[in-house]
Homo-oligomer: A and B are copies of this chain.
Amino acid sequence: MIHISKETLAAAGKIKRLNIVNSISGIKPANLIGTISGKGQTNLAVFSSVFHLGSNPALLGMIVRPSGEVPRHTYENILETGYFTINHVPVSHVREAHHTSAKFDRSVSEFDACGFTPVWKEEFAAPYVGESPLQIGLRFEEEIPIRANGTILIISGIEHIYLPEDVLNENGYINLEVAGSAGISGLNTYYQLEKLASFAYARPGETPLEEL
């Protein structure tokens, strides 16, 4: 095995360090975040920083950088309207999803520029992604500044979930392989997911059995 120490990492070039550290936490979810500005301009951007925060209330977290030298359209739109969508990237569209990470002008909608269809549902104030197998409508709840590196934790509540019937079983398990949802490693590598097994609730004295 190679050993990369804190010092080796600090001495590595910026890009190499960025690639290593963005990869080592393991697989990340590939999501497209759909927003609209207060002036009605839609925006779409790929994010790998969405995570589960809690089930009751149903909350998701995501890490964003504040607007500074580089404009952060997604973050600005979320603050302007209070609503946004999170949409799983389908494995069929990873190239198009990656394209949304380009620095488009705010007057350009990445829906159009990258080949995704904005879909409006239930009078929700932000656009879903028509090509996505799992679409979530969220309401902004709170932002927590992270002093350690100047990023921001955005906490949001789940308002709506849309998904195909065959992806969800009666216990509430979601099969991400059947959904065709993609994963990301680092900044630019995309993965498809192959289900290995579901296991029963684990108990100390028993090797966990597989569930169907």
Contacts and interface: CB of A to CB of B under 8 A. Distances in A.
Closest CB pairs A-B (n = 9): A26-B29, A19-B172, A16-B172, A23-B174, A102-B202, A54-B149, A21-B55, A4-B161, A20-B172
B19 A26 contact: no
A160 B172 CA distance: 38
A12 B172 contact: yes
Given A3-B160, A58-B21, A191-B196, A26 B181 contact: yes
Contacts of A72: none
Interface in A21-65: 21-31, 48-61, 63
A206 B58 CA distance: 38
A123 interface: no
Contacts of A177: 191
A196 B26 contact: no
Contacts of A199: 94-95, 98, 188, 190
9 contacts: A9-B161, A20-B161, A24-B158, A48-B52, A57-B148, A59-B148, A94-B196, A113-B204, A191-B193
Interface residues of A, number: 114
A148 B59 CA distance: 9
Nearest to A153: B153
B189 A88 contact: no
A3 B121 CA distance: 10
Contacts of A26: 29-31, 50, 88, 134, 176, 181, 183
Contacts of A55: 17-18, 21-22
Contact of A21 (B52, B102, B165, B181): B52
Contact of A176 (B20, B159, B191): B191
A212 B162 CA distance: 35
Contacts of A49: 51-52
A17 B60 CA distance: 14
A158 B198 CA distance: 31
